[in-house]
Amino acid sequence: MSSNPQKSYIEVIDFHKSFGEKRVHAGVSFYVRKGECLGLIGGSGTGKSVLLRSLVGLEKPDKGQIIIDGEDIVPMNERQLVEVRKKVAYAFQGGALFDSMTVYENLAYPLREHTKMTESEIAAQIRAQLEEFGLDATAEKLYPGSLSGGMQKRVGLARAMMMHPEVVLYDEPTAGLDPYNTKRIQESILKMKAKGVTSILVTHDMPTVYAVCDKVALLIEGRIGEQYTIDKLKTEPSGVMTQFINGESV
């Protein structure tokens, strides 16, 4: 795959990562342009989550570069990575809300950590954010444990958006959701995209890839095996990716 450093906002170059003897990534390269959404698909255990975690510096590759907005984040220290994480939000698999805090406290947390906003400004932003994600203000007082899975995911995404990130990394945001909640998540992703947010969507949910992504890459045998634009994949399905999507062994 050719690189395109001028226009790319995220560029991963020759990413290698092993855990002990187990080689997971053996030279992953791809790029995402500003405002684009890349769908990243692949079998379970192929290293999709590790790749996303690496893009916010929660894992370090053994070898390779991760260029975000012109800067390689691989050599960065923790202090520099804190700055990167203000720009790049990672919406965790499962939502990752703090169970002992209300929805309000969960959403206020990043703002209290990273900004000097007043409590009334924080309250106003939380109200607006909940509305954006189709959640009622009454949800503020609830604890994550009392929310449905779909609502938890939406609150998790709302929290990831609190810092107005330029990049959002979605790790299986619709896994286990019913069609109604899946649709709400798709709408949220499209809203973020309309604001110019660049994103990577890791998922097994192909209807969501078709609904929100511009292109899709298949992670297989430690590399990006194939990549297509969504239009191309829809109109001329072929190759290993189509076999994978159709559930054939690849």
Ligand X SMILES: Nc1ncnc2c1ncn2[C@@H]1O[C@H](COP(=O)(O)OP(=O)(O)O)[C@@H](O)[C@H]1O
Interface ranges with ligand X (CB under 6 A)? 19, 24, 42, 44-50
Residue 49 near Mg ion by CB under 5 A:
yes
Pick the stretch among 47-55, 80-88, 98-106, 135-143 that binds Mg ion (CB under 5 A). Answer: 47-55
Could you give the strand order of the β-sheet that contains 22-33, starting from the edge strand earlier in sequence? 22-33, 8-19, 63-68, 71-72
Q: Is 46 in the site for Mg ion (CB under 5 A)?
A: no
- State the nearest-atom distance from the C-beta of 15 to ligand X, in Å: 12
Instruction: Count the site residues for Mg ion by CB under 5 A.
Output: 1
Least distance in Å: CB of 193 to ligand X? 23
Cα separation, 216 vs 206, whole angstroms: 10
Shortest separation between residue 216's beta carbon and ligand X, angstroms: 15
Q: If you search the block for the tokens 């001329």, which residue do you land on?
A: 236
Distance, CA of 55 to CA of 68 (rounded, Å): 8
- Contacting Mg ion within 142-161 (CB under 5 A): none
Could you give the strand order of the β-sheet that contains 88-91, starting from the edge strand earlier in sequence? 88-91, 167-171, 198-202, 37-41, 215-220, 223-229
Shortest reach from residue 139's CB to Mg ion, in Å = 27
Nearer to Mg ion, 49 or 106 (CB): 49
| Torsion angle defined by CA atoms of residues 162, 163, 169 and 174, in that order, rounded to the nearest 10 degrees | 0
**Could you give the dihedral angle defined by the CA atoms of residues 70, 73, 75 and 76, in that order, rounded to the nearest 10 degrees?**
110
Interface segment toward Mg ion; rule CB under 5 A; list 41-49, 60-68, 97-105, 193-201: 41-49
8-19/223-229 β-pairing: unpaired
Classify strands 71-72 and 63-68 as parallel, antiparallel or unpaired. antiparallel
Would you say 8 or 49 has its CB closer to ligand X?
49
Cα–Cα distance for residue pair 12/237, rounded to 1 Å: 26
Amino acid (1-letter code) at residue 215: K
Q: Which is nearer to ligand X, 123 or 240 (CB)?
A: 240
For residues 161 and 194, is the Cβ–Cβ distance under 8 A?
A: no
44/77 with CB nearer Mg ion:
44
Site string for Mg ion, 77-116 (x = CB under 5 A): ----------------------------------------
Q: How near is the Cβ of 16 to ligand X at its closest, in Å? A: 13
> What minimum distance in Å lies between the beta carbon of 39 and ligand X?
14
- Which partner in Mg ion, ligand X, none is near 45 (CB below 5 to 8 A by kind)? ligand X
Compare residues 93 and 115 and give the one whose CB is closer to Mg ion.
93
Which positions touch Mg ion (CB under 5 A)?
49
